[in-house]
Amino acid sequence: MTGFSAVSVSATLLAYHHRERRGPTIVFLPGYASDMAGAKALALDAWAAANGRAMLRFDYSGCGESPGEFETQSLAQWRDDTLGMIDEVVEGPVLLVGSSMGGWLMLHAALARPERVLGLIGIAAAPDFTGWGFTEEEKLTILSAGRLEQPNPYGDAPTVTSRAFWESGEAMRLTHAPIAIDCPVRLLHGQRDPDVPWAWSLRLTELIRSPDVRLSLVKDGDHRLSRDSDIALLTATVADLMEQLDP
């Protein structure tokens, strides 16, 4: 990819694309081992450009165009990357859109910056997946060997989970108690998602403290929700929430 900018966030260099238009700024948070060039990120960026909306998409440390070794990263590092981008690149309020693991990070960001985060949109949000997303045998492999390789249904290279990431995720689990987030939340989830059971989004509607939480289920939707119809649902959800948040 070309044309991206880079910024040092807490001594970490991160690649990003930022368009300064009318806020709140949409901040896209990719999923695990994904980046800012994914289909949903690019589609949402195009929608934001066409509608005069501010948009930020970026790559976590060790992902995409951002330097660093992927297997040394942790969920805590990517949370800090997210907060650093909000603090040092964006001015004013933000609307966070988190895909899969990005949905976990958006919850942590909203808890850490309640005065900046005006709304959340989760796409197959996957909080706490280090707990429920692995078998006991797989967890033992991560702990004993330091890494786990699994087939990747979305690419040629295997999906690698490191012990550093897994231990960080276990320390940052949220779904054991009510989640003190009060802004509007919209959750989108496919009921044919083989990776993140849609019941987790239903659980989030119960745990998030805000009274304004809505869940949209796509009966034939998969994990990625990147078909044209899924993108249309995403942009319509963003547009509706933006209208609600506009002063």
Active-site residue set: 100, 193, 223
Query: Distances in Å between the alpha carbon of 117 and those of 86, 231, 245?
Result: 9, 23, 11
Question: Cα 162 to the chain's mean position, in Å?
Answer: 19
38 touches 28 (CB < 8 A): no
- Going by the DSSP 8-state scheme, the letter that residue 86 receives in this structure is H
- Sign for the CA dihedral angle at 145, 148, 149, 155 comes to negative
Q: What token pair was written down for 46?
A: 């195009």
Q: Residue 230: which residues within 8 A CB-CB, separation 6 or more?
A: 188, 190, 218, 221, 224
165 CB-near residues (< 8 Å, 6+ apart): 73, 74, 75, 130
Strand partners of residue 132: none
Q: Where are the beta strands (DSSP E) in 36-132?
A: 53-58, 94-99, 117-123
CA distance readout (Å), 58 to 10, 29, 110, 200, 244: 15, 8, 18, 26, 25
Distance separating alpha carbons of residues 237 and 241, to the nearest angstrom:
6
- Segment holding 105, helix H or strand E: helix 101-112
